[in-house]
Amino acid sequence: MLLLAIIVAGGLRFWQLDQLPPGLYRDEAVNGLDALDVLTGQRAGKSLFYFETNNGREPAYIYLTALSVFLFGRTTLAIRLAAAVIGTLTTWFTYKLAKTWFGKSIGLLSAWLWAITIWPIHLSRIGLRPILLPMLLAIAFWLGTLAYRRSRDGQPASWMWLLAGVAFGTSFYTYLAARFTVIVFVLLFMYLVLTGRGKSLWPGTGWALVGMAVTLAPLTSLFLREPDLIIGRAGQVSILDPAINRGDLIGTFWQQTWRALGLFFVKGDTIIRHNPPGRPVFDLLMVVPFLLGVAWCFRNWRRPPAATLLLWVGVMLGPTILAEDSPHFLRAVGLLPGVMMLPAIGLQQIWNWSRLPSRLGQALAIVLLTFSMLFSIKDYFLDYGRQPKTAYWFESAARELAESVNNESNSSAIWVDRRFWDSWPSVRFLLQNDKLVSFYRPDELGPDLIRQPAILYAWPFERLDQVVGAIAPPALVSGETGGLAQGDLEPAPYPLYVKYIVEGPNNAPILANFDNNIQLRGAEVTHLSPIKLQIDLYWSPDAGSKEPVVAFIHVVKSGEDDGGLIGQSDSIPSQGNWPSQWWRPGLIIRDRHIIELEEELDQSQQQIRIGLYQADTLEPLPLLDGEGLPIGDSWLLPLG
C-alpha cells in the first residue's frame, strides 16, 4: 500500500509537469536565473547561503535547481523537477513519521492523504522553495522521536539526536516559515518537562543543539552582519505594519486568525498561483475525518504525539495569521505534512468503528479516500489547469514568446523588444539562443533597418509605427498576435506581444485592384475542417491609406444577397497588427482570416467574396477593372 501511495504521488506530481500549471511564473524563473549564476560562477564574492534577489530567498531549492538545470538545460521542466522529486519523497517521510507516532495504519493513511491532496500536489508542481520545508520537518520530527525513545529506553542515541538537529537546522535554508518551528520545539520541550518526561531529553537535546548550531552557523553569521537582509521580507508583509492593519492591530489579528482557521475546509488561499482560488485544504469528504482527528488529539493530549501534532498545527498557522493575505498557502506550508495526520486519525476511527460491521467501516474509509482523490484530480487537473486565468498568472505568454524565439530558424535575423528581456525573468531564463538575438528599443530603430528574412517580436502598446517603419521593402510581411497576459493588478488580459514575420516578397500577379491603390496578389484557402476555413490574403499597396481600412471575407450562397451569408470575417489586416496607415509600396501584407461556417462548404452552391471598406464610414472601396472603371465592391474567389 505504501509503494502504491508513492506511485500515485509521483504520477500526480510528474504528469505533464512542464505544462501544468501552464507558463513559468517569474518567481520560478528567478530561481532558474540564480541557478544559472551558480553554474557559471557568477556568484563569486556573494553569500552562498542566501540569495538577495526577489526579496531574498533561502538557497536550498536553488542549488537543487542548479543540478536540474545542469542535467536538463534551461527548461520549465528543469525548474520544477526538484519540487516534484521532493514532493514524491515526502510521501515516504510522512509515512515514517506518522507510523512512528500513531502506528502503521495511520502512517499509510497520512501518506495517501499527502499523495492525493491538492495543496501538496500543487507545491510539488511549481518551482518554488516552500516544498522543501515539509520534508525537512518530517525528517526532524521523525529522527527526534526515534532519538527520544532510544534515550528513554537507555540505548545510545547521541548520533540520532545530532542528525535530528542537523535536519532541523537545514530546514532554515528552505523557506521563511521555518523560523516559527523554533516555537514548536520550545513548547514541546516545555510540555515534556512539565509532564514528567524531561529526563530523557538530556544530554540528547544538547547533541541536537550542536547539530543545529553547526548547520545554522553560516546563516547565523550572515544574519549578524546583515540583519535586514534576513528579516526584510517579513517586515514588508507583517500585520504589525500600520499600512496593513490600518490602525486596528487587534481587529486585524482576529480577522486573520479566523481566516486562517477556515483554510482547512471553509475557504483557502484565493491567489491563483498558490491554489485553485478559494479551495480549502480538504474537500467536504474529509471534513468529518479531520474533525474526528482534532477531537481525538485533544482528548489524548497527554500522549506526546497528540500534543506535538496540536502544537505543530497551532503554531505553524502563525506565519499566515501574522502576515497579510491570510490564508496564504505558501506562508502556511509549515503545517505540512503534520496536518495530513488529522484526517488520517479520523479515517482510522471510521475504519475501526465498532458500531459498523468491520467490512463496512473499512469500505467507507476507502470510499472517502478514493473520492477525495478523484475530487483533487478534477479540481486541479481538469478545472484549475484549464482556466485561462491560471495561464495568465503563470505568465504563459512570456514563456510562449521565449519558446517561439527558440524555435526560429537561424536563417532569419531575430529582433526582440528589450522590454521583454528586462521585465520578464522567464524570457531571460528560457531563451536558448539569446546571443543570436538583437534586442532593441523602438526609439533606436531607424527606417529600413530590418531586412528580410527576419522575425520581430514587438511590445504592442508602444511605437509600433516606428517598429514596422524599420522594415525595409521589398518584403512579404505578416503580424501574429501573441498569447494573452494579465498581471495581478490588471483588470483584463491583453496580448503580450506581436510577432512580425518578414520574408521575401510574393511576386504573384494582381488578382484584384481596389480603388487603384490596393491590389490583391493572392488568396489561399485551407480547409481546417468541413465547417472551418483559413483564408490567407496578400495585399500590395501603392501607398498607405490615411483612413483605416477593413478587409472582409463573406461566404454566401450562390445567387443570394446578404441573407445567404453563412460565414464571414471582417478585420483590420494581419489580425489588426498592420493597419493600412502603415502600408508602403514594396511591402506585401499577409492577412490571415479564420472563418467558422454555419454549414459545410459546397463549392457548387457557395461563393467567397473579398473586399475592403473604410473602417469609419463603412464605405466599400470600389473594385476596378483593367481600364480603371468600377465593377463592384468585392472580388469573387474561384472555388474548385
Q: What confidence tens digit (pLDDT) does each residue in 141-157 have?
A: 999 999 999 999 989 89
**Residue finishing a domain among 469, 503, 537:** 503
**Distance, CA of 297 to CA of 314 (rounded, Å):** 12
DSSP 339-395: GGHHHHHHHHHHHT-TTS-HHHHHHHHHHHHHHHHHHHHIIIIIIGGG-HHHHHHTT
CB atoms within 10 A of CB 259: 18
> What is the predicted pLDDT for the residue at 70?
96
| Mean pLDDT lowest among 48-62, 65-79, 143-157, 370-384 | 48-62
Question: 627 Cβ partners below 8 Å, 6+ apart?
Answer: none
Report which secondary-structure segment, H or E, holds 596. strand 587-596
**Would residue 97 count as lying in a domain?**
yes
What confidence category does residue 236 fall into, taking pLDDT thresholds of 50, 70 and 90?
A: low
**Would residue 312 count as lying in a domain?**
yes
**What is the rounded average pLDDT of the residues 385-407?**
94
pTM as predicted: 0.91
Based on the fold, state whether residues 380 and 418 are members of the same structural domain: no
- pLDDT averaged over every residue in the chain: 91
Which SS3 state, helix, strand or coil, does residue 534 take?
Answer: strand
**Contact yes or no for 124/62 (Cβ under 8 A):** no
Based on the fold, state whether residues 353 and 418 are members of the same structural domain: no
For the chain, how many residues are written? 640
> What is the predicted pLDDT for the residue at 288?
95
> What is the predicted pLDDT for the residue at 237?
72
DSSP 252-298: HHHHHHHHHHTTTTT-----TTTSSTT--SS-GGGHHHHHHHHHHHH
b/e for 214-251, b at 16 or more Cβ within 10 A? ebbeebeebeeeeeeebeeebeebebeeeebbeeeeee
> What is the predicted pLDDT for the residue at 584?
86
**Of the candidates 102, 171, 110, 99, the residue with the CA atom closest to the CA atom of residue 140:** 171
**Of the candidates 180, 325, 322, the residue with the CA atom closest to the CA atom of residue 238:** 322
> What is the predicted pLDDT for the residue at 330?
95
CA distances in angstroms from 435 to 32, 407, 428, listed in the order given: 18, 14, 11
User: Going edge to edge, which strands form the sheet with 606-614?
Assistant: 565-571, 549-557, 606-614, 635-637
Based on the fold, state whether residues 521 and 467 are members of the same structural domain: no
**Contact yes or no for 99/2 (Cβ under 8 A):** no
**Would residue 13 count as lying in a domain?**
no
Based on the fold, state whether residues 530 and 606 are members of the same structural domain: yes
**Would residue 1 count as lying in a domain?**
no
**Distance, CA of 255 to CA of 8 (rounded, Å):** 37
Based on the fold, state whether residues 574 and 478 are members of the same structural domain: no
> What is the predicted pLDDT for the residue at 191?
96
Based on the fold, state whether residues 104 and 140 are members of the same structural domain: yes
Domain encompassing residue 451: 401-503
**What is the rounded average pLDDT of the residues 436-453?**
89
Q: Between these two residues, 101 and 625, which has the higher pLDDT value? A: 101
Which SS3 state, helix, strand or coil, does residue 157 take?
Answer: coil
**Distance, CA of 245 to CA of 284 (rounded, Å):** 32
What confidence category does residue 233 fall into, taking pLDDT thresholds of 50, 70 and 90?
A: low
Has residue 165 got a pLDDT over 60? yes
| Strand partners for 589 | 477, 539
> What is the predicted pLDDT for the residue at 230?
61
**Distance, CA of 203 to CA of 116 (rounded, Å):** 40
**Would residue 74 count as lying in a domain?**
yes
Side-chain-facing half-sphere of 563: CA atoms under 13 Å: 3
**Would residue 12 count as lying in a domain?**
no
Based on the fold, state whether residues 318 and 428 are members of the same structural domain: no
Has residue 38 got a pLDDT over 90? yes
Rounded to the nearest 5°, which phi and psi values hold at 342?
Answer: -65, -55
**Would residue 444 count as lying in a domain?**
yes
Based on the fold, state whether residues 362 and 445 are members of the same structural domain: no
Question: 406 Cβ partners below 8 Å, 6+ apart?
Answer: 430, 431, 432, 433
> What is the predicted pLDDT for the residue at 509?
87
CA triplet 444, 448, 450: central angle to 5 degrees?
75
**Would residue 94 count as lying in a domain?**
yes
**What is the rounded average pLDDT of the residues 226-240?**
67
**What is the rounded average pLDDT of the residues 123-151?**
97
Instruction: Cell 520541550: give the residue.
Output: 189
Based on the fold, state whether residues 480 and 561 are members of the same structural domain: no
**Residue finishing a domain among 503, 521, 537:** 503
Based on the fold, state whether residues 238 and 178 are members of the same structural domain: yes
Based on the fold, state whether residues 379 and 411 are members of the same structural domain: no
Helices 287-299 + 304-316 axis angle, to 10: 120
> What is the predicted pLDDT for the residue at 232?
57
> What is the predicted pLDDT for the residue at 24?
97
**Of the candidates 162, 165, 152, the residue with the CA atom closest to the CA atom of residue 200:** 152
b/e for 47-77, b at 16 or more Cβ within 10 A? bebbbeeeebbbbbbbbbbbebbeeeebbbb
**Distance, CA of 527 to CA of 145 (rounded, Å):** 68
**Distance, CA of 613 to CA of 624 (rounded, Å):** 14
CB atoms within 10 A of CB 468: 24
> What is the predicted pLDDT for the residue at 172?
94
pLDDT tens-digit readout, 275-293: 999 999 999 999 999 999 9
**Of the candidates 593, 590, 589, the residue with the CA atom closest to the CA atom of residue 567:** 593
Has residue 98 got a pLDDT over 60? yes
> What is the predicted pLDDT for the residue at 194?
93
Question: 257 Cβ partners below 8 Å, 6+ apart?
Answer: 317, 321
> What is the predicted pLDDT for the residue at 563?
56
**What is the rounded average pLDDT of the residues 74-80?**
97
**Distance, CA of 298 to CA of 565 (rounded, Å):** 72
**Contact yes or no for 416/434 (Cβ under 8 A):** no
**Contact yes or no for 171/219 (Cβ under 8 A):** no
**Of the candidates 240, 222, 226, 237, the residue with the CA atom closest to the CA atom of residue 330:** 237
Q: Between these two residues, 463 and 78, which has the higher pLDDT value? A: 78
Burial of 329 (0-12, 13-18, 19+ CB in 10 A): buried
Based on the fold, state whether residues 417 and 271 are members of the same structural domain: no
Which SS3 state, helix, strand or coil, does residue 539 take?
Answer: strand
**What is the rounded average pLDDT of the residues 193-215?**
93
561: domain CATH number is 2.60.40.10
| Strand partners for 84 | none
**What is the rounded average pLDDT of the residues 430-447?**
87
Q: Give how far the C-alpha of residue 1 lies from the chain's centroid of Cα atoms, to the nearest Å.
A: 32
**% of residues, the chain, pLDDT over 90:** 69
| Mean pLDDT lowest among 130-144, 162-176, 570-584 | 570-584
Q: Per the structure block, which three cell numbers stand in for 629?
A: 472603371
**Contact yes or no for 432/406 (Cβ under 8 A):** yes
Which SS3 state, helix, strand or coil, does residue 499 take?
Answer: strand
Q: How many domains does the chain have?
A: 3
> What is the predicted pLDDT for the residue at 15?
97
Has residue 559 got a pLDDT over 70? no
> What is the predicted pLDDT for the residue at 544?
67
**Distance, CA of 541 to CA of 35 (rounded, Å):** 50
Q: Per the structure block, which three cell numbers stand in for 160?
A: 540520532
**Residue finishing a domain among 339, 372, 391:** 391
Q: Between these two residues, 97 and 517, which has the higher pLDDT value? A: 97
pLDDT tens-digit readout, 294-353: 999 999 999 999 999 999 999 999 999 998 889 999 999 999 999 999 999 999 999 988
CA triplet 298, 301, 303: central angle to 5 degrees?
140
